[in-house]
Amino acid sequence: MPAAVNGSPGHRKRLRERFVRSSLEGFHDYEVVELLLTFAIPRRDVKPLAKALISRFKGLSGIFEASAEELREVSGCGARSVDLFNLIKAAASVYVNEKASARPPVRSAADVVCFVNDHSKEYGGNGERLFALFLNSKNEILGIELLHEGEMNKALVQPRAVMEKAFGHNARSIIFVHTADGKAAPSKGERALAEGLESAARSIDILVHDHIIVGKGNFLSARDLGWLRPGPSA
Query: What gap in Å lies between CA 146 and CA 113, rounded to an integer?
Result: 15
Residue 191: pLDDT band (50, 70, 90) is: very high
Q: Is 0.75 surpassed by the pTM of this model?
A: no
Query: What gap in Å lies between CA 172 and CA 142, rounded to an integer?
Result: 10
User: Is there a contact between 18 and 38 (Cβ–Cβ < 8 Å)?
Assistant: no
N- to C-terminal Cα distance for the chain? Answer: 69
Where exactly are the structural domains of the chain?
5-101, 109-221
- Fold entry, domain 109-221: Cytidine Deaminase; domain 2 (3.40.140)
pLDDT tens sequence across 120-172: 766 655 678 899 999 999 999 888 888 988 877 777 788 999 999 999 999 99
Where is 194: in which H helix or E strand? helix 188-203
Residue 225 has pLDDT above 60, yes or no: yes
